[in-house]
Amino acid sequence: METADVVIVGGGIVGSSIAYHLTQAGCRDVLVLERETHQGKGSTGKSMGGVRAQFSTSVNIQMSLYSIPFYASFEERLGLPCGYRPQGYLFLATSERHLAYLRDNQARQRALGLTTAHMLAGDEIRATYPQLRGDDILGGSFCSTDGFVDPYSAMVGFMTRASENGARLWRNAEVTAIRREGEAVRGLETSRGRVETRIIVNAAGAWAAGVAALAGIGLPVEPLRRMLVPTEPFDGFPHTAPMIIDMSNGFHFRPEGLGFLMAWNDPEETSGYKLDFDPAFIEKILLRAADRVPCFENVAVNPKRAWAGLYEMTPDHHPILGPVPGVGGFFLANGFSGHGVMHAPATGKIVSDLILTGTTTLIHATLLDLERFAEGRMIEETAVL
């Protein structure tokens, strides 16, 4: 039988960041359980890797204002790369309503300390990217410190340094039961044996509700398939471009290797553990791609290179962070709704703080607690891609 001060269920980027932040703060007896043969086989390795501060709610902006500078200094801090590229995010507004929305968001972002976001006129966007169909673009918003990271490299960096600080990683370790004594956790049963602990962190991504259920906890997190389509090498659009988001339909794309990576949130998608890529999605996304970027009409796509991953959705598109009332020692780091990679550094800091000190200065922690759903305190994020 093993013992640990803290057991983290889930070895993806979120669990790895929590392990890193805990060990950096002096909590060295940390055990990370990864059910797969290798880390990153869940949502981490299938992410688009975008990072942005252009959100509509204060708590998401605050988490980005910790996470993005962390990624910018990742190699300096950890001595390992995370692939941060500050090429920006550009939101294209095609209605006055969209413009007003972006202006309102930017005012909130500035009030919280973001200095690198600004509005662009339609003419500026058309002049910079003449390849776009720009007849309906009224303007947009751009943030130069938004950009992309390599999720797998960041995860490896977090776990490598956590391991050097004493954390242990068990692979092929699926949690089969969580043991409680009264109103507190006391350990877990795993496919690799029993572990005694008084603190468990659920960082199981899209599978978090099942882990919570083992402790008798109802968790409003559902998996939702998101599909990504990379193009073959293509030089008809500048590779210095930011992530570009067409607000008229949600289509977005960014440079990736010698080609581009395209994404779109299909409103017909339903929740479930669907990990297969649907070839019919390619026609849907290419129609929207060619409509906004006419030269994409000629872009080549190999369906075998496209893939699907899972978002972990909550009812208000915000994560659930912190302790569970009535289940002492059980902490949640779940439901990032597509923002797990970009907010992994902040999540690691917040959850580590809450475990070690019971409070955090990064955000108002009660905003993201589990009780908000039962108490009607949901905070809707509308800037979801």
The enclosing domain of 191 has a CATH number of 3.50.50.60
**Is residue 380 in a domain?**
no
**Do 162 and 289 fall within a single domain?**
no
Which domain-ending residue is among 277, 294, 313? 313
Q: How many domains does the chain have?
A: 2
**Do 209 and 297 fall within a single domain?**
no
User: Helix 151-164 and helix 13-24: axis angle, to 10°?
Assistant: 30
**Do 254 and 304 fall within a single domain?**
yes
Cβ(6)–Cβ(197) under 8 Å? yes
**Do 194 and 302 fall within a single domain?**
no
pLDDT confidence of residue 44:
82
Q: Per-residue pLDDT tens, the chain, 385 aa: give them.
A: 899 999 999 999 999 999 999 999 999 999 999 998 888 878 888 889 999 999 999 999 999 999 999 999 999 999 999 999 999 999 999 999 999 999 999 999 999 999 999 999 999 999 999 999 999 999 999 999 999 999 999 999 999 999 999 999 999 999 999 999 989 999 999 999 999 999 999 999 999 999 999 999 999 999 999 999 999 999 999 999 999 999 999 999 999 999 999 999 999 999 999 999 999 999 999 999 999 999 999 899 999 999 999 999 999 999 999 999 999 999 999 999 999 999 999 999 999 999 999 999 999 999 999 999 999 999 877 766 7
**Do 109 and 126 fall within a single domain?**
yes
pLDDT confidence of residue 384:
66
Range of the domain at 22: 2-49+151-220+316-375
**Do 227 and 289 fall within a single domain?**
yes
pTM of the model: 0.96
**Is residue 334 in a domain?**
yes
Among 98, 73, 96, smallest CA distance to 84 is for 73
**Do 341 and 253 fall within a single domain?**
no
pLDDT confidence of residue 328:
97
**Do 175 and 213 fall within a single domain?**
yes
Residue 185, CA distances (Å) to 34, 86, 211, 291 in order: 20, 42, 13, 54
**Do 204 and 350 fall within a single domain?**
yes
**Do 103 and 162 fall within a single domain?**
no
**Do 322 and 207 fall within a single domain?**
yes
Which domain-ending residue is among 288, 313, 338? 313
pLDDT confidence of residue 1:
86
Gap between the Cα atoms of 87 and 145, Å rounded: 7
**Is residue 168 in a domain?**
yes
**Is residue 350 in a domain?**
yes
